[in-house]
Amino acid sequence: MIQETAPAPFGARLRRAMDERGPLCVGIDPHASLLADWGLNDDVAGLARFTRTVVEALADRVAVLKPQSAFFERFGSRGLAVLETAVVEARERGALVLMDAKRGDIGSTMAAYAATYLDPASPLFSDAVTVSPYLGYGSLRPALDLAAAQGCGVFALALTSNPEGAEFQRAVREDGRTVAATVLGHLAAENAAAEGLGSYGAVVGATLGDLSAFDLAINGPLLAPGIGAQGATPADLPTVFGDAVRNVLPSVSRGVLRHGPDTGALRDAAARCADEVRAAIDQQEARQ
């Protein structure tokens, strides 16, 4: 009897991809306005053309591609079919796929969400998924456990880049800790036994300025949206993340995608951004 090899943990695969391809996540966010900028119709054909171009341009060279599920779901089953194809082709070309779905629920519903993105039998099987912990961190357990079993990753919302996020995330609990600090603490506990980078990450906005009041040393990846259109730059990363900057995975969408539909321009934009991020991280580590 041949024994199946256990899948490599997501954290280990992510570290390798970031070291080899550069510390960058590129979002696949087919906004209606972006489709128009590319000269495409806001329909399934335009969606498919846009998505295929991004995958063909970047999946063999960036560490992570992050499809935003909502922009595919709005076209119904045909949009989801485009997403299914993109996930498979991106992974075949060597990119890690982080599904930006931000799912959160309880019990069997959360287990169904987890199976949708983290079960190899699913047509949307991805390397990692974003989740919302605001029904209580324990509600994420089905996703956390399935991710561990399948060598996948989970990114929980902690300190997001949108201004409204502070209303809940910085609220103070009875024990004196903020909700965001509590989420970070749970993630650190999940990663405590990991050798190298853990597989349980936090979403922490790159636009938030000095976060030294929060312990970002969770031994896991820190997905950092906000680079580019939201105003943050790679040079801001050391200020925001401090000593944890080496575990940061900056996410950029429009800052790269606006250079399409030319394949070469997309590749050049992604390469420039990855180089700028690597330079900022190297400078911070040189100071330590």
Q: Say if residue 51's pLDDT is above 90.
A: yes
Q: 209 in a domain, yes or no?
A: yes
Q: 64 in a domain, yes or no?
A: yes
pLDDT score recorded for residue 288: 66
Provide the CATH number for the domain around residue 234.
3.20.20.70
pLDDT band at 7 (very low <50, low <70, confident <90, very high): confident
Q: 220 in a domain, yes or no?
A: yes
Q: What is the pLDDT of residues 101-150, one digit of tens each?
A: 999 999 999 999 999 999 999 999 999 999 999 999 999 999 999 999 99
> Which positions are catalytic?
102
Q: What is the pLDDT of residues 223-233, one digit of tens each?
A: 999 987 778 89
Q: Which residues are registered as beta bridge partners of 25? A: 64, 251
For 256, the token pair is: 């790269």
**Residue range(s) defining the domain that contains residue 227:** 15-280
Non-local (6+) Cβ contacts of 109 within 8 A are none
Packed helices 44-58 and 76-92: angle between N→C axes, nearest 10 degrees: 10
Q: What is the pLDDT of residues 149-197, one digit of tens each?
A: 999 999 999 999 999 999 999 999 999 999 999 999 999 999 999 999 9
Q: 107 in a domain, yes or no?
A: yes
Q: What whole-number distance in Å separates Cα of residue 107 and Cα of residue 141?
A: 9
57 touches 269 (CB < 8 A): no
pLDDT score recorded for residue 260: 97
**Omega prior to 120 cis, within 30 of 0:** no
Q: Say if residue 96's pLDDT is above 80.
A: yes
Residues belonging to the chain: 288
Q: Say if residue 6's pLDDT is above 70.
A: no
pLDDT score recorded for residue 176: 97
Q: Work out the average pLDDT over 211-219.
A: 97
Q: 287 in a domain, yes or no?
A: no
Non-local (6+) Cβ contacts of 191 within 8 A are 11, 198, 199, 200, 218, 219, 220
245 touches 284 (CB < 8 A): yes
Domain count, the chain: 1
Residue carrying the six token digits 């995608």? 257
pLDDT score recorded for residue 3: 41
How crowded is the C-beta side of 230, counted as CA atoms within 13 Å? 20
The answer to whether the predicted template modeling score (pTM) of the entire model surpasses 0.85 is yes
Arithmetic mean of pLDDT over the chain: 95
Q: 34 in a domain, yes or no?
A: yes
pLDDT score recorded for residue 227: 87
Q: 145 in a domain, yes or no?
A: yes
Q: What whole-number distance in Å separates Cα of residue 194 and Cα of residue 187?
A: 12
